[in-house]
Structure 1
Amino acid sequence: MQIDGLPPLREVIASHGLSARKSMGQNFLLDLNLTARIARLAGDLAGSDVLEIGPGPGGLTRGLLAEGARKVLAIEKDARCLPALAEIAAAYPGRLQVIEGDALEIDPLAHLTPPIKVAANLPYNVGTELLVRWLTPKVWPPFWDSLTLMFQREVAERIVAKPGSKAYGRLALLAQWRAEPKIVMDLPPEVFTPAPKVHSAVVHLAALPEPRYPADPAVLNRVVAAAFNQRRKMLRAALRGLHPQIEAILAEVGIAPTARAEEIGLEGFCALARRLAAG
C-alpha cells in the first residue's frame, strides 16, 4: 500500500541497516496498510497532536501523518532510526518532531499542544511501565484524550480482564478505573520483522472525565497491591497489614472476608479504599 511518496519500509530498513534489536524490544511492523489501520483506530487525528514512543523506521509515524495528525512527536532511543525519521519529517514539513532519548526519562508535554492522543507500537520492555505512568498522573483528567497502544496479547488481555478471570489483576483495575479500554485489533507474529514468539493486540483506552467510582488513588493502589500480591489468599489474610480490624471492615463494605482478590470488582475495591481512608 502506498500512503505517501516515501519508499516501502523494507527499502528504508535495508538502506539504513535497521535490523531490529531484541535488547530494545524492537519488532518492526512493515505493512503500511496495517500501520494506517492502527492510526485510524486512534480516531480523528486532524485537530490533535500525537505522541508516539519507539517509532523505529517510522511505519506508524507515516500512518499517523497520512491520517491527518496535526503534529507527531516521536521519541526514539535508537539513534540508528533517526535518519529514516528525518526523511519522513522532510516529507511532512513542520508536522513531525523527533526526540532522541528514553521515553521513561523525557517529559513530552513541553512539545505538545492539547488535545493530545498517544499512539504507539510500544517496545515490549517498557510498554507496561509507560501505560501505568499514563494511568496514574497526579491530576485527572490526564494530558491525553486517548491511548492507542500495541502490546503482547497477554498484556492486552490483562488490561481488559473482568473479575473471576486469571488475567484480572492490578492492571485491569488501574485501566478500568479511569479509562474505557477495548482490544480493537489482533496481530499475528508473522506481520512483524522479526516475528516475535507471541501474538500482539492493539488496545484503545479513552480517558474518562473522572474515575468510575470515588477513591483516593494512593489508598486504592495500596489496597489492590496488597490484595493481588497474595491473590491465592483470602482477603482477610492478604489485607491484614492494612488495618487491625480488616475483617470487620470488609464485611462492612459488603465484601466477604473469605473472598479472594480476583472475585472483587472495581466498585468493591473503591468502596474498601474509601472506608480505609476514612480511618
Structure 2
Amino acid sequence: MSDALPPLREVIREFDLRAKKSFGQNFLLDLNLTRKIARVAGDLADSVVYEVGPGPGGLTRGLLAEGAKRVVAVEMDERCLPALAEVSRAYDGRLTVHQGDALDMDEPTLLAPQPGETLRIASNLPYNVGTMLLIKWLTLDEWKPWFASLTLMFQREVAERIVAKPGSKAYGRLSVLAQWRGKVRIAVNVPAAAFTPPPKVASAVIHYEPSEPLDATVKLKDLELVVERAFGQRRKMLRASLKSLPVNAGELLAKADIDETRRAEDVSVEEYVRLARTYAEMRDA
C-alpha cells in the first residue's frame, strides 16, 4: 500500500537533506524495511509512538502506514521540518513534530496521552546520542515506566552489548541495565547498504519490553554503583574491582555468595542484583 508521498530519495533531493555527521544522521530509504521495523513495535492501533530523529520521515511513514494512532517526533535539524510537515498532511495530522534536543524532553508531558492510549518509543536513533537516550529511558526511578516498549535502531555493536549474556566480551553495564527489569532481543539486522549515506558498520533493531524487576527492593542507584565499579576494572577479580566501595569487598562477596576471584563479565544479571541488595544492607547496617 502506497501513502501517495514521493519516494524518499526525491524528498531528500527536493529539500536538500544531505545527512549531516554533526546530527549523527543516516537515513533509511527503503519503506518496506521501515514498515517491517514498525511491525516489530507491535499493534499500533491505540499507540502514541514517540520517534527521535525522524529525518526525512522514512520510519515515520512506516509507523503511520502500519496504523499508529499518533506519532510524536522530536527533530533537531530544522531542514527536515518541511518534509515532515508533508508527511503530517498526508496522514491527516496524525504526526506532530517538535524541534529540539531529545535529551532535554519530558516525554510524558510532550506526548500528552489520552485515556486508553499506549505509549511506545520507536526510532532509528541518531548514532551520536543513541546510547545516552537508551540509558535515560532505562534508568527511570519509577518502574514500570511510562512506555510499553522500545523499538530502537543502533549500530550492531551497541545492540549486541544491550542483549549480551555473561561470559561474552560484549557483556557489560548496558547489558545489566537493560536486562534486570526488562526483556530485550535483537529483532532485525540492517546492513549498512540500507542507509544513505551508508555507515561503516551494520546496524540492528532491538525490541525491549519492561517487566517486573528481578528484585523490587533493589534501588537503581545501588545497582548502577556496583555494576560501574565491577566493569570499571573488568579484567580484575571482583575482590579488587569492588574494593573502592564503602564496604568490605570480601565480606560483600561472601554474603552475596559470589566467588571473589570471578571477573565482572562472568557475573549474571541476577547476581549483580543480589550484590546490589547485599551492598545496600551492609551500607545501611
What residue in structure 2 maps to residue 10 of structure 1? 9
2:232 aligns with one of 223, 229, 233? 229
Q: Quote the Cα distance in structure 2 between the aligned partners of 1:227 and 1:246.
A: 11
- The letter of the residue matching 2:10 is E
What residue in structure 2 maps to residue 211 of structure 1? 213
Q: Quote the Cα distance in structure 2 between the aligned partners of 1:118 and 1:249.
A: 38
What residue in structure 2 maps to residue 67 of structure 1? 66
1:270 aligns with one of 270, 273, 276? 273
- The letter of the residue matching 1:241 is S
Deviation at 1:267, TM superposition (A): 1.0
Residues 192 and 198 of structure 2 are in contact (CA less than 8 Å); yes or no, is this contact kept in structure 1? Answer: yes
Provide the aligned length of Structure 1 versus Structure 2: 277
1:122 aligns with one of 125, 140, 147? 125
What residue in structure 2 maps to residue 107 of structure 1? 106
- The letter of the residue matching 2:126 is P
What residue in structure 2 maps to residue 32 of structure 1? 31
Are 1:93 and 2:92 an aligned pair? yes
Mark the runs of 5 or more structure 1 residues left unpaired by the alignment: none
- The letter of the residue matching 1:86 is A
Greater Cα offset, 88-97 or 221-230: 88-97
What residue in structure 2 maps to residue 252 of structure 1? 255
- The letter of the residue matching 2:85 is A
What residue in structure 2 maps to residue 53 of structure 1? 52
Greater Cα offset, 258-267 or 238-247: 238-247
Greater Cα offset, 76-85 or 114-123: 114-123
Q: Classify the secondary structure of the residue corresponding to 2:174.
A: helix
1:200 aligns with one of 198, 203, 228? 203
Residues 214 and 273 of structure 2 are in contact (CA less than 8 Å); yes or no, is this contact kept in structure 1? Answer: no
Residues 179 and 207 of structure 1 are in contact (CA less than 8 Å); yes or no, is this contact kept in structure 2? Answer: yes
- The letter of the residue matching 1:135 is L
Deviation at 1:244, TM superposition (A): 4.0
RMSD of aligned Cα (Å): 1.0
Deviation at 1:216, TM superposition (A): 1.4
Cα 1:212–1:3 change in 2 (3 A) is farther
What residue in structure 2 maps to residue 240 of structure 1? 243
> Identity rate of aligned residues, in percent?
59
Residues 103 and 133 of structure 2 are in contact (CA less than 8 Å); yes or no, is this contact kept in structure 1? Answer: yes
Residues 141 and 220 of structure 2 are in contact (CA less than 8 Å); yes or no, is this contact kept in structure 1? Answer: no
